[in-house]
Amino acid sequence: MKIFSFSPFGYEGALVACEVDLRRGIPAVDVVGLADSAVKESRERMRSAIRNSGFEFPLERVLISLSPADLKKEGAGFDLALALAVLDAQYNAQNGKNSGDSEKSVLVMGELELSGLLRPVRGVHAAAGTALAAGIDCCIVSAQNASEAREVAGMKVFAAKNLAEAFDALYKPELFSGEVHFSEEQGAPKGSVCVDGVLFPPVEEEFEFGLVKGQKKLIRALQIAAAGGHNLLAFGPPGCGKTLALQKFPGLLPLLTVEEAQSVTRIHSLAGLLPSCVSIVRKKSFRMPHQTATIEGICGGGVNCRPGEISLAHNGVLFLDEAAEFRSSVLQMLRVPLETASITLSRAGRSTVYPADFQLLLAANPCPCGNYGVEDRLCLCSARAVEMYWKKFSGPLLDRVDLRVCVGGERENEGKTEGQAEGDFTTENLRRKVAAAVKVQRVRGVKNARLSPKQILELCPLDGEKSAFLERQSAKFNLSQRGVSACLKLARTIADMEGRAEIELSDLKEAVGFRVDSGPLDSTCLE
């Protein structure tokens, strides 16, 4: 029997082989292979757990080898693997067998109590995925981690409550269960709503847009952002409602597909953020770090390269409220992940690549005091202070933000829009067009915000009139090539929301208006 455990490092991690040799000498337990204090302390937990589970601990000198030898091993997740390796070596010695005689391999993870009961550990989903890629299709984990491991298609899992059950399962492959039902309803929160074939989480009061009054332009922008995965910047004076509206954004986001949820679940498992009652993460993450966050907190780091906020927001949203208050270095490091949808971390001669395909939402004031350009309010900021305030964002970062919305402080659009009822701006109604666009993009296999230049040419063709309009606007507002591409991608999203195969001039006008924030939206766009 070959017993493996898992050492988490970065996104990939590494399998660790647990080998045991029983030899003559003064009874003791030696652990080799760069084990840290937590792993070395497992010798005493393992000894007590074995005896309290009804087994005899070997009277010989026990040598435990953890390989690869040059990889540092940390955490209490090795407890169960070491205990089973010792018991397996003793069983083989009593029956005249060698541990290497069997070609069967099994992944084992769990923390032992002194009584022999098992506790859950982090990283089980990642461990199961890594083991399966290495050809190991069986694992023994604690009962609390079993559902998490079963989300890895093809992995056979035994849920053990204590050491005795785990040892019994080593030699009974029929006890392992591999039943997994991968359906779109799997792991969906109770009360989830299906809109045109797209699943959404239940509408909660905190995500109800019907409670937001007088910010129809911002709501429309959020609807487009949710439909196409576009980045968005909302700026306006304090108290205008931009933060309130942006915090309700998760209400417009569909649930992750089962395929998308696998990488998200792996990241949350490695970070130890996967709730015991959740086997797979289907709701899109909505991360809202504080303005004092460091680069390591945002991008990830530490000895084991733990995931940062941008990786925890993978396939979800990163919302920076009062964005100009973040350190300039933190804002600038977002540029590469926004472009590549991944981030590479290097620590102590090792490196790892985390996925970071996140959607960025920014909220900011027009100046440090917040009153710049606001009627009937006095701005106390100097021209230099305003300039330095906006320089924190830099042109390259803002160029990657497709939607820019100037939120008015007076709520001049408050009330009903001509031809529309107030109820049209509820979360339930806004989801319909989001679902229509998401459904089309899932068939294409790519979000509109992630369209490549070649895909833009194929999916966003313009005739003479539309092309001429875009050229005029590009020259008028000095749009970069990325800015022109953003307008086309936004227009594609708007057309998808309306169920149109071709982009119309009205779609292009609205897209350019949001890119340059050239004025209030036409009320006819707020359907």
Q: Report yes or no on 188 lying in a domain.
A: no
Structural domain total, the chain: 2
Q: Tell me what pLDDT residue 374 has.
A: 82
Q: Report yes or no on 125 lying in a domain.
A: yes
| Residue 101 confidence class, pLDDT cut points 50, 70, 90 | low
Q: Report yes or no on 497 lying in a domain.
A: yes
With 60 as the cut, is the pLDDT of residue 521 above it?
A: no
Average confidence (pLDDT) over 385-397 = 90
Q: Tell me what pLDDT residue 416 has.
A: 39
Q: What is the pLDDT of residues 199-235, one digit of tens each?
A: 999 988 899 998 888 889 999 999 999 999 999 999 9
Distances (CA, A) of 373 to 72, 240, 367, 378, 436: 57, 13, 9, 9, 38
Q: For residue 130, give both structure tokens.
A: 């890594």
CB under 8 Å to 197, separation ≥6 — which residues?
A: 435, 439
Q: Report yes or no on 51 lying in a domain.
A: yes
Q: For residue 381, give both structure tokens.
A: 């900021």
For residue 15, the domain's CATH number is: 3.30.230.10
330 and 323 Cβ atoms separated by less than 8 Å = no
Q: Which of 19-23, 100-104, 271-275, 346-350 has the lowest mean pLDDT?
A: 100-104
Nearest to 200 by CA among 211, 209, 191: 191
Q: Tell me what pLDDT residue 417 has.
A: 39
Is residue 218 domain-shared with residue 340, that is, in the same domain? yes
Q: Which of 141, 175, 209 is the last residue of a domain?
A: 175
Is residue 67 domain-shared with residue 199, that is, in the same domain? no
CA-atom Rg of the chain in angstroms: 28
Is residue 266 domain-shared with residue 330, that is, in the same domain? yes
Q: Which of 149, 175, 201 is the last residue of a domain?
A: 175
Q: What is the pLDDT of residues 403-445, one digit of tens each?
A: 999 987 544 444 433 334 445 689 999 999 999 999 999 999 9
Give the H or E element holding residue 341: none
For residue 307, the domain's CATH number is: 3.40.50.300
Nearest to 76 by CA among 50, 111, 45, 44: 111
Is residue 300 domain-shared with residue 402, that is, in the same domain? yes
Alpha-carbon span 116 to 207, nearest angstrom: 45
Is residue 441 domain-shared with residue 329, that is, in the same domain? yes
With 80 as the cut, is the pLDDT of residue 66 above it?
A: yes
Is residue 129 domain-shared with residue 67, that is, in the same domain? yes
Q: Tell me what pLDDT residue 414 has.
A: 45
* Containing structural domain, residue 81: 2-175
Q: Tell me what pLDDT residue 205 has.
A: 87
Q: Running DSSP on this structure, what letter comes out for residue 73? A: B
Is residue 446 domain-shared with residue 483, that is, in the same domain? yes
Q: Tell me what pLDDT residue 447 has.
A: 96
| Amino acid at the residue 311 | S
Q: Which of 140, 175, 210 is the last residue of a domain?
A: 175
Alpha-carbon span 224 to 456, nearest angstrom: 17
For the chain, give the mean pLDDT: 89
Is residue 148 domain-shared with residue 94, that is, in the same domain? yes
Is residue 138 domain-shared with residue 234, that is, in the same domain? no
Average confidence (pLDDT) over 460-477 = 93
Q: Which of 199-203, 278-282, 398-402 has the lowest mean pLDDT?
A: 278-282
* % of the chain at pLDDT higher than 70: 92
- The DSSP code sequence of 56-70 is PPPSSEEEEEEESTT
Q: Tell me what pLDDT residue 419 has.
A: 36
Q: Report yes or no on 61 lying in a domain.
A: yes
Is residue 117 domain-shared with residue 263, that is, in the same domain? no
282 and 256 Cβ atoms separated by less than 8 Å = yes
Q: Report yes or no on 183 lying in a domain.
A: no
Phi-psi region of 398 (alpha: psi -120 to 50; beta: other; left: phi over 0): alpha
Alpha-carbon span 125 to 269, nearest angstrom: 6
Q: What is the pLDDT of residues 147-178, one digit of tens each?
A: 899 989 889 999 999 999 999 999 888 888 87
Question: Which residue, chain included where needed, has tokens 């966050």?
Answer: 293
Nearest to 226 by CA among 69, 438, 516, 33: 438
Q: For residue 420, give both structure tokens.
A: 């529309």
Q: What is the pLDDT of residues 38-64, one digit of tens each?
A: 898 999 999 999 999 999 999 999 999
Greater model confidence, 303 or 226: 226
Q: Report yes or no on 260 lying in a domain.
A: yes
CB under 8 Å to 471, separation ≥6 — which residues?
A: none
DSSP SS3 for 2: strand
Alpha-carbon span 359 to 226, nearest angstrom: 9
Average confidence (pLDDT) over 232-254 = 94
Is residue 68 domain-shared with residue 164, that is, in the same domain? yes
Q: Tell me what pLDDT residue 179 has.
A: 56
Is residue 138 domain-shared with residue 260, that is, in the same domain? no
Q: What is the pLDDT of residues 185-197, one digit of tens each?
A: 767 888 899 999 9
Cis peptide before 68 (omega within 30 of 0): yes
Q: Report yes or no on 186 lying in a domain.
A: no
198 and 439 Cβ atoms separated by less than 8 Å = yes
